Amino acid sequence: MATRVLLTGGAGYIGSHTYVALCEAGYECIVLDNFSNAAHGVPDVLEKITGAPVQLVEGDVLDRGCLDHIFHAHHIDAVIHFAALKSVGESIANPLAYMQCNIGGLVTLMQAMKAAGVYHLVFSSSASVYGNPEALPVPETAPLSYASPYGYTKLACEQIIAQAGAADPKWAVGVLRYFNPVGAHPSGLIGEDPKDVPNNLMPYIAKVAAGELPQLSVFGNDYPTQDGTGVRDYIHVCDLAAGHVLSLKSLLEENAGHLVNLGTGQGYSVLELLDAYSKACGRDLPYQIVERRPGDPAASFADPQRARDVLGFQASHSLDEMCASSWHWINTGAQKPG
C-alpha cells in the first residue's frame, strides 16, 4: 500500500509543487486547504498534471473536528504542514491573526496527530528565524531571532516542535528552513500568483514584466554587497519540492527528525535577479532606487551542507531557469487556475 501523506495548505504555492513531486515519487496525498490564499481551480490543475484525481478536503487546520475526521477516515502515515499566513507586512499590521493561524494551527494539528497516533511531520519553517544573520553562509547553528510577527511565529513553532519532541520521543519532525522559493512548475500550470501587490521580489518583478506594475522599487543600493543591493538565496520551487520528498523519506526510514536549511548556498543581488528576469522576458525592466526598508538584512544565503549530508539534498536549478520558469507561468495565464 502506498504511503499516505496529508498536505495542509497543499493547494498553495509550495504545497502544490510538493504535491506533484510526491505523486511522482509514488506517495498518495490528501490535500487540506481553506483556500484563503489559493485558487479553487488548483486541484483540477493538479489532476491535469498528475493524471489522477485529487483527494481534497476544504477545511481549516484550526478546526480540530475537521482534522479528527480526516485522521479517522484515512490511514495517514505522515503530515506536511504548509498551511500558514506568510506576509511579513500583513503580520506587522495584524499580528494576532498570524499567532492564531500559524501557532494555533500547528498546535491544533499536532494534537490531532497525537490523538491519531501519527508522529511523522514535515514543517515549513523559514530563513526568517535567522533575523539579520551575523555570518554568511548561514548554518543551522546560527543565532535565532526574528524581525516581524511572521518570523516570530516560525521561531515559536520550531520551539513548540522541539518541546513536544522532548516530552514524547515518538515525534519525528523534519523542520525545513526555506530560503527564498521562486519559479514555477515546467508545465506552466502552477506557480505563485499573489492576490495583492506581491511582498516578495520575484513575483513583484514578474508583475512588472507582465506590465501589471510600472516599475520595481529597489530598497537601498548602499549595502556592503557586490552592487550595493540586498543579496538573497533564491531556490527553485521544484528543488524545494524535491527537498520535501527527501525529508519525508528520511523521517519514515530513520524514524528520527532533522532540521535543515533548504537553499542553494548562492546569493544573488536584487539587480542580478532583475537582470536575469530581463533576459527571461526579453526586455530591460524599469526600476528605481529608494530608501532601505527597516529590518532588511544586507545579505542572507544558506549553508546547504547539512541538508546535503542528512538528506542528500542538492538544488539543481540555475537563476536563469528560475526566472524562465516564472515567466513561462505568467505567460500561460489562459490556463491559470482561478
Ligand X SMILES: NC(=O)c1ccc[n+]([C@@H]2O[C@H](COP(=O)([O-])OP(=O)(O)OC[C@H]3O[C@@H](n4cnc5c(N)ncnc54)[C@H](O)[C@@H]3O)[C@@H](O)[C@H]2O)c1
Q: Which of 2, 36, 293, 318 binds ligand X (CB under 6 A)?
A: 36
Residue 150 is a catalytic residue: yes
Q: Which of 5, 7, 14, 241 binds ligand X (CB under 6 A)?
A: 14
Candidates 119, 157, 123; CA nearest to 252 is 119
Q: 180 by DSSP, 3-state: which?
A: strand
| Cβ nearer to ligand X, comparing 144 with 289 | 144
Residue 3 C-beta: closest distance to ligand X, Å: 21
Q: What does the alpha-carbon distance between residue 264 and residue 51 come to, in Å, rounded to a whole number? A: 31
Per-residue burial over 172-183, b = 16 or more CB atoms within 10 Å of its CB, e = otherwise = bbbbbbbbbbbb
Residue 263 C-beta: closest distance to ligand X, Å: 10
Residue 82 as a binder of ligand X (CB under 6 A): the answer is: yes
Q: How many residues bind ligand X (CB under 6 A)?
A: 28
Q: Which of the following is catalytic: 13, 98, 119, 150?
A: 150
Asked whether the CA dihedral 208, 212, 215, 221 is positive or negative, the reply is negative
Give the strand order in the sheet containing 299-300.
268-269, 231-232, 299-300
Binders in 107-166 for ligand X, by CB under 6 A: 124, 126
DSSP element (H, E) containing 167: helix 149-167
Residue 105 as a binder of ligand X (CB under 6 A): the answer is: yes
Q: All 3 cell numbers of residue 290?
A: 529608494
Residue 234 as a binder of ligand X (CB under 6 A): the answer is: no
Residue 164 C-beta: closest distance to ligand X, Å: 18
Interacting residue ranges for ligand X, rule: CB under 6 A: 8-9, 11-15, 33-38, 60-62, 82-84, 86, 101, 105, 124, 126, 178, 180-181, 200
Residues marked as catalytic: 150
